[in-house]
């Protein structure tokens, strides 16, 4: 397939995955021509964060919406005068049209030849194929032995809601004098630049038509050093440049001036599998299978992973994102699920997310033990977070410990409120701040801090997290009143029957006596003996007394405060997801 026959390696020969009709129509709607649509069926190599091959996916699936992490390559082609070839991507390209990039950037395909990792032969073969296809370079002018693998980098770069690059990019250097015959469907312009000319482009000292692609800006500005230029043409010195690393660039969408952010669901799905893998790795490390199964029970039951992904979502909105944010998110999600296991025991709830609660499925002793183990495991995951410097481990552990203590204090207040007749509004907000809001606060604060944000921004995001958390709990109480059992995954009105002092109940109990209030008092705290008819009368009473509207007004106030915090931040593609998260609970019953 390679070597002398490479010129015949055209689109009909490449490994491909059939594109479904919906995606085909989307490409047509985006004005993609037939050649570009054919290219989007190529079978790229999906990988994990260590560049271990998982399997194939079509190019369109790997780049659409949340995308998939996949293997890529970037060629830096220098001529005998040590000038670097740049290409401007054609306007017909589906992803990132009209941006200046390195000499050639594409993907090895899911074939035996292009999957070979020894001496980076797979990506080198793919590079020869694409140099021929895009730039018309004769394969005899760029031989396998002339390529030098230097390093890898991992990055995400979103163009808009529909299209994203998520790659582990293998960076190759080659020096060769080549003849070019540009494929205008792929490349619109080329230019040869010296080191100084490239630097002038990067810092904006010269004007040029278009802008620099985010991945190439990462290569040229963050990974490529002066030594790279000095070593061109010297194979022995180029070999010494290999570092064996995967440089973590995080999300670099902000490097593209016209980039548009994705909504909350897509943004979560970008990293949700990566966080869940961290959670699973941590909770399944125990040699006791029943304990591991009990710890994984609620995780396997699903979940939105708002808290788990929140440090990442905040980090890429206010600073430099990196995979350590996912480690911290996994730690906080484990803590969150530990609290759910124990909450269900304390609240005597039999179901969670439509499943048996852990203590029902595995028994009370194992459930308590699983919760205890999860707390310890969360701190193990935290201290091993990538990008967390040794000097920051202590403060980070202390902050997470503070969060767990505040959650426990909030839960204790919640327990005590069930036996107290007089619970004030101030008492309630102290309780939900601890039980719910501090976890959002901590996720947002830690995400900002680990991304390198300044103190004002860190404080702003902590305020945002607190406001979102308070709104979240207020709305959660409202949803328990206004939703049916199937939607909740537990009996509707169960909080009322258990006697929980929500803001609605506190407000209603402070109102003058009425038949509606009597209906509420009749079911409040009655527990399992409450009939559904009694619960329905109690729920109706909260509406009729005006307590539902009162709680909704408070939720809307915190919702407004949270948006005001985001208004203080510079514009960023990642802000869209944070704004949708701010609106998330409110929209559920709007």
Give CATH 1.10.600.10 domain extents, the chain. 264-588
Per-residue model confidence (pLDDT) at position 1: 39
Per-residue model confidence (pLDDT) at position 491: 63
3-state secondary structure of 15: coil
Q: What beta strand segments (E) does 3-147 contain? A: 43-47, 53-58, 70-78, 84-89, 99-101, 104-106
Q: What beta strand segments (E) does 225-293 contain? A: 246-251
Per-residue model confidence (pLDDT) at position 94: 87
Give CATH 3.90.79.10 domain extents, the chain. 3-255
| DSSP H stretches of helix in 437-546 | 438-450, 455-482, 485-488, 494-497, 503-509, 515-523, 532-545
pLDDT, tens only, 327-384 = 999 999 999 999 999 999 998 889 888 899 999 999 999 999 999 999 999 999 999 9
CATH class of segment(s) 264-588? mainly alpha
Q: Domain 3-255 sits in which CATH superfamily?
A: Nucleoside Triphosphate Pyrophosphohydrolase (3.90.79.10)
Instruction: Determine whether 368 is exposed, middle or buried from the number of CB atoms within 10 Å of its CB (0-12, 13-18, 19+).
Output: middle
Instruction: Tokens for 245, please give them.
Output: 């690393």
Instruction: Tokens for 537, please give them.
Output: 């009368």
Per-residue model confidence (pLDDT) at position 487: 53
C-alpha span between 126 and 99 (Å, rounded): 22
Kindly give the pairing relationship between strand 164-175 and strand 355-356.
Answer: unpaired
Q: What beta strand segments (E) does 259-362 contain? A: 351-352, 355-356
C-alpha span between 106 and 156 (Å, rounded): 15
C-alpha span between 234 and 228 (Å, rounded): 10
3-state secondary structure of 420: coil
CA 75 to chain centre: 28
Which parts of the chain register pLDDT below 50? 1-12, 488
C-alpha span between 134 and 93 (Å, rounded): 12
Q: Look up the pTM and report it.
A: 0.91
C-alpha span between 452 and 474 (Å, rounded): 32
Per-residue model confidence (pLDDT) at position 3: 42
C-alpha span between 113 and 151 (Å, rounded): 20
Per-residue model confidence (pLDDT) at position 500: 85
CB 309 within 8 A of CB 335: no
| 205-208 own/partner pairs: CB under 8 Å, 24+ apart | 208/100
3-state secondary structure of 42: strand
Residue appearing with tokens 């509707």: 492
Per-residue model confidence (pLDDT) at position 9: 46
C-alpha span between 434 and 413 (Å, rounded): 9
Helix axes 455-482, 438-450, angle to 10 degrees: 150
C-alpha span between 359 and 371 (Å, rounded): 10
């Amino acid at each position: 397939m390679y070597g002398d026959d490479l010129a015949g390696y055209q689109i009909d020969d490449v490994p491909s995955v059939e594109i479904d009709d919906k995606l085909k129509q989307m490409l047509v709607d985006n004005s993609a021509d037939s050649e570009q649509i054919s290219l989007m069926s190529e079978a790229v190599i999906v990988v994990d964060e260590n560049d271990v091959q998982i399997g194939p996916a079509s190019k369109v699936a790997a780049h659409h919406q949340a995308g998939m992490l996949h293997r890529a390559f970037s060629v830096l082609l220098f001529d005998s005068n040590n000038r670097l070839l740049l290409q401007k991507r054609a306007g017909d390209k589906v992803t990132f049209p009209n941006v200046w990039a390195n000499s050639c950037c594409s993907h090895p395909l899911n074939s035996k030849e292009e999957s070979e990792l020894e001496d980076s032969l797979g990506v080198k073969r793919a590079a020869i194929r694409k140099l021929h296809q895009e730039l018309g370079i004769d394969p005899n002018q760029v031989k396998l032995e002339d390529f030098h693998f230097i390093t890898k980098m991992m990055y995400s770069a979103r163009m808009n809601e529909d299209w994203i690059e998520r790659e582990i990019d293998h960076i190759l250097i080659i020096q060769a004098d080549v003849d070019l015959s540009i494929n205008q469907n792929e490349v619109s312009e080329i230019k040869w630049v010296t080191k100084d000319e490239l630097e002038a482009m990067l810092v904006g000292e010269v004007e040029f038509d278009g802008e620099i692609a985010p991945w190439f800006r990462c290569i040229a500005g963050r990974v490529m050093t002066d030594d790279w230029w000095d070593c061109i043409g010297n194979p022995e010195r180029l070999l010494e440049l290999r570092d064996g690393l995967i440089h973590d660039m995080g999300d670099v969408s902000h490097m593209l001036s016209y980039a548009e952010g994705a909504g909350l669901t897509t943004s979560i799905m970008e990293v949700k599998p990566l966080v869940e893998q961290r959670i699973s790795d941590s909770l399944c490390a125990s040699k006791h299978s029943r304990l591991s199964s009990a710890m994984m029970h609620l995780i396997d039951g699903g979940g939105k992973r708002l808290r788990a992904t929140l440090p990442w979502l905040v980090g890429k909105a206010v600073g430099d994102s990196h995979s350590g944010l996912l480690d911290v998110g996994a730690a906080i999600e484990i803590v969150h699920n530990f609290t759910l296991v124990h909450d269900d025991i304390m609240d005597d709830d039999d179901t969670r997310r439509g499943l048996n609660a852990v203590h029902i499925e595995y028994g009370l002793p194992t459930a308590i033990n699983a919760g205890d183990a999860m707390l310890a495991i969360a701190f193990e995951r935290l201290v091993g977070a990538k990008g967390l410097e040794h000097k920051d481990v202590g403060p980070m552990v202390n902050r997470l410990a503070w969060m767990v203590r505040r959650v426990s204090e909030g839960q204790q207040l919640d327990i005590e409120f069930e036996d107290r007749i007089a619970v004030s509004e101030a008492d309630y907000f102290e309780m939900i701040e601890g039980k719910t809001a501090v976890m959002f606060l901590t996720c947002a604060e830690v995400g900002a801090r680990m991304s390198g944000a300044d103190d004002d921004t860190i404080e702003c995001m902590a305020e945002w997290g607190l406001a979102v958390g308070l709104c979240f709990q207020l709305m959660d109480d409202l949803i328990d009143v206004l939703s049916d059992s199937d939607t909740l995954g537990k009996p509707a009105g169960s909080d009322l029957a258990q006697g929980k002092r929500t803001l609605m109940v506190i407000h209603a109990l402070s109102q003058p006596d009425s038949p509606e209030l009597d209906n509420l008092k009749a079911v409040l705290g009655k527990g399992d003996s409450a009939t559904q008819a009694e619960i329905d009368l109690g729920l109706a009473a909260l509406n009729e007394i005006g307590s539902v509207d009162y709680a909704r007004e408070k939720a809307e106030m915190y919702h407004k405060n949270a948006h005001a915090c985001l208004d203080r931040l510079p514009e960023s593609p990642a802000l869209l997801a944070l704004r949708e998260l701010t609106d998330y609970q409110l929209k559920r019953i709007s």
